[in-house]
Amino acid sequence: MAAQRPANRPRPTLLILLAAALTLLTLQFRGLQPLDAFQQGVRDIVEPVRTLSDRLTDPIQTAWNGVFDYDALRMENERLEIELARMRGNTLTSEADTELLSRLLSEVDIAYSDFDTLVVRLLGRPPGNFSSHMVEVDKGTDDGLKEGMAVVTGAGLVGRLDQVDRSRSLVQLATHPDFKVGVRLVTSQDEGLANGTGTEGLVRIESGVRLDAQVEHGEVLVTSGGRSLFPADIPVGRVLDPDSDADYRRSIIVELSADLENLSFLKVVLPVQQTGVVR
Amino acid sequence: MSSRLRVLAVLLTALIAQATLLTEIRIQGATVELMMVIAILAGFHGGPERGMFVAFFAGLLQDSLISVPLGLHALVFPPLAVAVSSLEQRMVRLTPVADALALLLASTAGIFMIVAAGLLFGLSPFDPSVLLTRILIAAAMTTAIAIPVNRAVRWAVMGGLPPEIKIRSIDS
């Protein structure tokens, strides 16, 4: 049993601490810079230890995954085998799909591969239990990255940089419920606002697209650019459910073109004027 | 070494452990809430006053490490420490099993409180389909790691407190 302690009155002290926490939360939501700097400073102090630990604990992590994620690894292996067989059997179909995408993108003068990008390596999930739809990458402000930059793979949009420290960054995946991006339907040229659904591989367009707009199943979507932080014409995905029968509010379900579950290297899209960064 | 320095050493060590090794060790996506278990054990060993202060700073460090607004964990941990301290003072007899169950209960309640506070402040990174499973697994993992953490927290927070006084009857 713990030692007996002198009698005290914790309630006023507890109220003061709760008030302090609420004040900090309020100031943080109001965007007080010193608080962000404090958080970033703590992460920067811990960062070298994390990098060293990542290297040292790699065998432990591998063993841990072997024990506790064996079923997941076996399923992943089976999935990859099936995928490989399917891809071998459907090479022609894949090529046709690629050609279709290229043709659709070229129709609107899209030069997706021309974006200036910085390659980053995926480190894994950030600390804590509640960082769903977030991943950590190995570059930060020292490499010229800034919050809000688009993150892509060769297949299309992955997310955006949400928190950028000196040598690490957090990427908010496109499926995150807080993720929003302006999109344009390539065929109909309608524009809307897509946001994450919290479901793997899917985003939803709930505003912007007219009720009477002709949206086809499989239609390609790209980022709309304009006032958005993202450059225009980054492939987002294909329409899975056009919700053509909606009579009040349309909710178009889009399947992302990039596979967010099996990421290893990503590309951060740099602003046009930022060309001096070493890649 | 003064008690404050010992608490600081334990908190910083825990922060590094949470940021490194424990982040890699996950079951179904869930990981140990090390700073929370320190808050709970600080309330248990150090009493409400000392426990809530340790819990508050543990919460601030946790907020700095992960991508949540500063103050979210600091809002949840102190009441948790006070509740655990209050419970500990009311328990007539403590056994290891009762301690473990109480810790499991406190961890589960604490994680629920963090989720609730997060939702209250507009955070929505919680996947509803896996939330309950993740909370229960995280609470179980947090309880499992409490044995080594318990010694460190007791060492840190009980420095300077008077030793336990046993009252015996005259007849014995």
Q: What is the pLDDT of residue B119?
A: 84
- A276 — pLDDT class (breaks 50, 70, 90): very low
Q: What is the pLDDT of residue B81?
A: 94
CA distances (Å), origin A159, targets A86, A186, A194: 28, 20, 12
Q: What is the pLDDT of residue B172?
A: 47
Angstrom distance (rounded) from CA A93 to CA A97: 6
pLDDT at A278 over 50: no
State the CATH number of the domain containing residue A187.
2.40.10.340
Is residue A26 one of the residues assigned to a domain?
A: no
Is residue A155 one of the residues assigned to a domain?
A: yes
Is residue A54 one of the residues assigned to a domain?
A: no
Q: Enumerate residue ranges in chain B where pLDDT < 50.
A: 172
Question: For an interface test with A, which of B11, B36, B50, B75 has the most A Cβ atoms less than 10 Å from its Cβ?
Answer: B75
Q: Which residues of A touch B44 (CB under 8 A)?
A: 2
ipTM here: 0.82
Angstrom distance (rounded) from CA B72 to CA B54: 15
3-state helix, strand, coil in chain B (%, to 5): 75, 0, 25
pLDDT in tens, A45-96: 888 888 887 777 777 767 776 776 677 777 777 777 776 766 665 554 555 5
Q: What is the mean pLDDT of residues A256-264?
A: 80
Q: What is the pLDDT of residue A107?
A: 47
Q: What is the pLDDT of residue A32?
A: 80
State the CB neighbour count (10 A cutoff) for residue B169.
Answer: 5
Q: What is the pLDDT of residue A111?
A: 56
Half-sphere exposure of A180 (CA within 13 A, CB side): 9
Structural domain count of chain A: 1
Q: What is the pLDDT of residue A171?
A: 93
Whole-angstrom Cα Rg for chain A: 23
Is residue A67 one of the residues assigned to a domain?
A: no
Closest chain A C-alpha to B171 CA, distance in angstroms: 24
Angstrom distance (rounded) from CA B90 to CA B125: 37
In A, minimum Cα distance to B74 occurs at A21
List the domain range (segments joined by +) for residue A198: 115-274
Q: What is the pLDDT of residue A74?
A: 75
- Does CATH number 1.10.1760 belong to domain B3-157? yes
